[in-house]
Amino acid sequence: MDQGMSISQQILDSAAEWHVRLEGDAPDYDGFAAWLEADPLHRPAYDQVIALDILVDQHLASMADVVTLLPTPAPTAPSKPIAANDDMPMIPLWRRAGVAAAVAVLVGSASLLVSNPWSSRIEVETGRGESRVVQLADASNIALDGNSRITYADDNPRSIELAQGSAMFTVKHDAAHPFNVSAGAYQIHDLGTEFAVSRGHGHLTISVASGSVDITGPGMARLKALPGDRIDVAEEGGQARIERFKVDPDSVASWRNGRLIYDNIPLRLVVADINRYAPNRITVVPQHAERRFSGVLTIGDGSQLAPNLANLMDLPLDEQGRDARLGAGNMP
């Protein structure tokens, strides 16, 4: 970030201290205002805290990668000589992700083996353009978008697998029976809330409308998502890329109203969404993948999503048979 002037370490340190203090028990907002007023460099210094925030949100996985490697000392045995581990060499993310993925697979199949052999799995599926609401016995419900599939054991409807597509979960909180959604190797643990999960093409999105959820998966620390958080997980060459975006909680699962609502979301993620509806396979060329889109797309029968997006972004759309590339070819 170039602010045209350099900020002394001392000022940055006090910005850091104020930031932490404001998150504490008795935040002194008047004191903070006075600190900001005391020196014209204090405000840009505090802006750096926000810039750091943005950076951390954009790279949660790779941050977690670096700091989770230190083994957490067992709090009950503080006398154990574990300090030597502090200098432990770093293990690359892909190796840890690989191990975690292997463990997840083992656990997954093991739980299938030990689950009640007399229970049967219920499968609910929707076709393209179809939607359904599944009412569960505990008053929780699941709204299923088109082209989606969930399965669950009939004796455990609070453990849902999203096999494909998109679903909005409105969950009645029950501390004794946590509600879990699994999507591939990732688990979403609900803490009494409304949230949407979408899955497809190596890509997972979790958006929270109210309450909160915990997300766990290979290569990532447990991640808490709060209302207005949109967490995107993309598998890229054996690594998970995890990002957090801010969305309007009211726009979560807007597909229930036949619309897709975006505010400042990269095109690659918009394209991942519209692929759930489009009759053909849409990709965006790399040089435009990070461009941000804000706006509302009407789903309809799915065929106009890509042309409309191309039009709104002023990008060409190259349609060849079952493939359409956004940003490729010539403008019509």
Partner 1 sequence: MESHDQPAAAPSAGLKAHFDDCAASLLRLLSARLGNRTDAEDLLQELWLKLATTDARVVENGSPENNEINNPRAYLHRMALNLANDLVRERIRRRGREAAYSDVMVAEEGVVAVDPGPSPEQALGDKIELARVREALRQLPARAGEVFRRHRIEGQSHAQVAEAMRISRSAVEKHMATAMKYLLRALNNPDST
- Residues 198 to 257: which contact partner 1 by CB under 8 A? 211, 221-226, 246
Q: Helices 42-58 and 9-22: crossing angle, nearest 10°?
A: 70
91: contact with partner 1 by CB under 8 A: no
Between 144 and 313, CB nearer to partner 1 = 313
- Residue in 119, 294, 298, 303 binding partner 1, rule: CB under 8 A: 294
Size of residue set near partner 1 by CB under 8 A: 77
The yes or no reply on residue 260 touching partner 1 (CB under 8 A) is no
Q: Using the minimum distance from each CB to partner 1, give the nearer residue, 54 or 103.
A: 54
Residue number, 64 or 150, with CB nearest to partner 1: 64
- 8 Ramachandran zone, left/alpha/beta (phi>0; psi -120 to 50): beta
Q: Assess contact for 165 and 132: CB atoms under 8 A.
A: no
User: Comparing C-alpha atoms, which of 232, 200, 194, 198 is closest to residue 213?
Assistant: 194
Minimum CB distance to partner 1, residue 269 (Å): 12
- Evaluate whether 143 touches 133 at the Cβ level (below 8 Å): yes
Do residues 301 and 266 lie in contact, with contact meaning Cβ atoms separated by under 8 Å?
A: no
Cβ distance to partner 1 smaller for residue 98 or 295 = 295
Closest approach, Cβ 24 to partner 1, in A, equals 5
Binding mask 35-74 for partner 1 (x = CB under 8 A): -xx-----x--xxxxxxxxxxx-xxx-xxx-xxx-x-x--
Q: 40 or 321: whose CB is closer to partner 1?
A: 40
Part in contact with partner 1 (CB under 8 A); list of ranges 2-10, 133-141, 170-178, 181-189: 2-10
User: Taking a C-beta distance cutoff of 8 angstroms, is the pair 300, 257 a contact?
Assistant: no
Q: How many CA atoms, within 13 angstroms, populate the side-chain half-sphere of residue 91?
A: 13
Per CB under 8 A, 291 contacts partner 1: yes
Residue (of 199, 162, 165) closest to 179 by Cα position: 162
| Alpha helix positions (H), 59-150 | 60-67, 93-114
In the complex, least distance from residue 179 CB atom to partner 1, rounded to whole angstroms: 17
CB atoms within 10 A of CB 320: 10
Nearer to partner 1, 59 or 132 (CB): 59
**Long-range contacts of residues 310-317, Cβ cutoff 8 Å, at least 24 apart:** 313/267, 313/288, 315/288
- Residue nearer to partner 1 on the CB measure, 144 or 309: 309
Minimum gap (Å) between residue 164 Cβ and partner 1: 28
* CB of 127 or CB of 237, closer to partner 1: 237
Look at residues 99, 100, 90 and name the one whose alpha carbon lies nearest to residue 65. Answer: 90
Quick note: the x/- pattern for partner 1 over 136-155, rule CB under 8 A, is --------------------
- Gap between the Cα atoms of 208 and 231, Å rounded: 9
In whole angstroms, how close is the CB of 12 to partner 1 at the nearest point? 5
Which residue of 295, 307, 316, 329 would you call a contact of partner 1, by CB under 8 A? Answer: 295
